[in-house]
Amino acid sequence: MEPENSSNPEPTSPESKFTPPSEPEPSLPPVVARPKRPIWPALILGMVVVVGFVSWRAWRVATVMQQAETEEREPARLPVQVVEAKTAPIQGWITSDGQVEATRGKHLTFEANGEITYLMRIGGRFLREGDTVRAGQVLATIDDRTYRSDIRSTQANLVVARRARDQANSRLVQARSELQIAESDFKAAKANLDLAKSELKRYETLFGENGEAWVVTASDVDVRRNDVAQAQASFESAQAAVESAQQGVRVAQDDVATQNAEIVSASSNVVNARIAREDTQLISPINGVVSFLNIREGDYWTTQRIQASGDYQSIVESVPIIVVDPNDLEVTVELPAFQGSRIKRGQRAYVVPDERMSQATVTGLTNQMLVELSTAKGNVFAVNPAVTPGGRATEVRVDVATGVANLRVGAKVSVWIESENTPATTVLPFGSFIFRDRVPYVFVVNPRTNRVERRAVETGIEGLQSVEVLSGLNPGELVVTEGRNRLVNGAAVEIVEGNP
C-alpha cells in the first residue's frame, strides 16, 4: 500500500525535473497494512437471525391457533375450593344474654319509720359490703321503744287472760264435782223409788184381790203407797239436780273456752307486737355476705326511700341491706318463644363473661373455644311454661354447678345452652350451601371428570361452624365452598387452594 500523503499528488512543473538532488531524508519504518475482514460471516449471522425470527413467529402463531382450537373443544374450568364431607359429632346451641343472681338472698328493709339507732359492728368497725354474716344476726335497728312498750302491754294482758282461765278451770272442776254428787243422789233416789214400788206391789198382793185382809191391812197398803209417792218426789228432785249440775258444767266449760280464746287473742297480740318490733330490725335470714349496704347509724329511715319500680340498679341502691349466698348462684335468661320451646331441664349450659365474647366475635367461635372461654358451667333447672307479656319471651334459669367463684352477683354474661346433640352425623361448613327458594343445595365435585353436580340436601342441627346434612350427601364427597356462586350444574372446575 502507498502512504496516505501520496493519494493526492501535487502537479509537478518542468523546473522540478532539474532540481539537484537533496540530501537523503532519514528512513522511516515501513507501514504494515491490515488485511480486510470478509463480510460473509455477518451475512450468515443475519440470515440465521432472520430465519430464527421467522420460525419463532410461525411457532407462536401455531401455538395460538392450537390453544384456540383446544378452547373451542374444551370449555374453561372455573377455579374452586372444596371441602370433604365428614362424619363428626355436632351440637345445636341457643344463646342469649343473662344476669347472674343469687339463688339464696334477701333484700332486708325496715317496715317502720325512725332513726337508725344500731348498726352491727365487726372488729370494732361498722358493717360494710363484703362482710360475712350468720343467720339470725341482727344487722341494724331503728328506734323501737314504742314497740317494746306494746310488747310489755300485750304480755300483761296475756298474764291476765291466763289467770282468768285458771279460775274458769277451777269453776269447771267444782261443777263437775257437784255433778258427780247429783248423779250419786239420783242413783240413790232411783233405788229408793224402785224399792218402794216393789214393797207396794208385795203388800197389794198380800192384801188380796177382793180387799179381804189376809195378812196385811188396808192401812199397811196405804203406807206403802205413801212411801212410793215420797220416793218418786225424791227421784224427780235428784233428776233435776243432775240436770242443773250438768248445766253448771256446760257453763264452766264455756267459760274455760272463752278464757282460752282470750289467751289465744292475747298471745296473738304479743306475737304481733313482736313482729311489729321486728319491722324495726334487719335480721339476716341466711349465712351469707353483705352485697349492698345503703344505711349508716344515725340516719333517719322512711319507707318512702324504697324504689319498688324502676331498674334493678335503682332498687339495689335504695334497699338498706342485701345479703346473698355467694356459693349458690344461678343465671336468668330470656329466650324468644320459638327457641324457648327447645329448652328442657337438664340441658348443659356454658356461661361466658361479656368481656370474653369480643375475642370470639373477631376469630369465630368453635366448640373448643366456647369451652375455653366459659368461666362457669351448669344445667338448665327451670323453664317457665308461660311467655312474658311484655317481651313475649320464655324465662330460663341455669343452675351454676362449677365456676361459681368466677361469677359475681348482678354481672351480665352470655349463656350458651346445648339444645341438641348428635354423636355422629354428616357435617359441612356453613359456607358450603346455596339457597334457591329457601331450599339448600350443594355443588358436589366428581374428581374423575372435574365437573360439579348440584344436589338438594336436607339439613338438621346448626352448630357453631358446621351444619348437619341429613340426606343428599355421603361422607367423603367433595363439596364446593368457594366459587360456588358462579357454578351451574355440570360446570367444569379446577380445584385450587387459597382464594379461587
User: What would the pLDDT profile of 36-79 be if each residue is shown by its tens digit?
Assistant: 566 767 777 777 787 777 788 777 777 766 665 555 555 678 89
CATH 2.40.30.170 placement within the chain: 93-99+327-413
CA distance to 97, 367, 406, per residue, from 357 (Å): 11, 13, 15
Q: Which fold has domain 78-89+423-495?
A: 2.40.420
List the single range of 6-10, 108-112, 453-457 with lowest mean pLDDT.
6-10
Residue ranges of alpha helices (H) inside 12-88 are 40-73
Dist CA 207 CA 216 (whole Å): 5
62 Cβ partners below 8 Å, 6+ apart?
none
List all residues 6 or more positions away from 96 whose beta carbon is below 8 Å from its beta carbon: 333, 334, 335, 414, 415
| pLDDT attached to residue 16 | 41
**pLDDT (average), residues 346-365:** 77
Instruction: Report the CATH superfamily, name and number, of domain 93-99+327-413.
Output: Efflux pump adaptor protein, beta barrel domain (2.40.30.170)
Q: Contact at 8 Å (CB) between 193 and 232?
A: yes
How confident is the model at residue 380, as a pLDDT? 95
Count of C-beta atoms within a 10 Å radius of residue 267: 16
- Contact partners, residue 451, CB within 8 Å, separation at least 6: 445, 490, 491, 492, 493
Q: Give 204 or 329, the one with higher predicted confidence.
A: 329
Q: Beta-carbon neighbour count of residue 42 at 10 Å?
A: 10
Residue owning grid cell 273456752: 257
146-278 folds as Helix Hairpins (1.10.287)
Burial 435-462 (b: 16+ CB within 10 A, else e): eeeeebbbbbbeeeeebbebbebeebbe
Tell which wins on pLDDT, 261 or 207. 261
Quote the CA–CA distance of 99 and 332 in Å, as a whole number: 6
Domain with CATH 2.40.50.100 in the chain: 105-142+282-323
Give the sign of the dihedral formed by CA 478, CA 482, CA 487, CA 492: negative
Contact 328, 102 (CB under 8 A): yes
Is 376's pLDDT higher than 80?
yes
Sign of torsion over alpha carbons 140, 144, 145, 151? negative
Q: What pLDDT does 454 receive?
A: 93
pLDDT at 349 over 90: yes
As a whole number of angstroms, the distance between CA 479 and CA 457 comes to 12
Residue spans in the chain of domains classed CATH 1.10.287: 146-278
**Hey, what CATH topology would domain 105-142+282-323 get?**
OB fold (Dihydrolipoamide Acetyltransferase, E2P) (2.40.50)
Cβ proximity of 128 and 290 under 8 Å: yes
Q: With bands split at pLDDT 50, 70 and 90, how would you rate the model's confidence at 192?
A: confident
Q: CA-CA-CA-CA torsion for 416, 420, 426, 430, nearest 10 degrees?
A: -40
Residue-level pLDDT at 178: 86
Average pLDDT of the residues in 312-335: 88
Nearest by Cα to 427 from 361, 499, 481, 486: 481
- 8 Å CB contact between 135 and 307: no
Q: Tell me: pLDDT of 173 over 80.
A: yes
Whether 214 shows a pLDDT value over 80: the answer reads no
Angle, vertex CA 203, rays to CA 200 and CA 205, nearest 5: 110
Residues ≥6 apart with Cβ < 8 Å to 479: 82, 83, 84, 85, 428, 432, 442, 443, 444, 445, 473
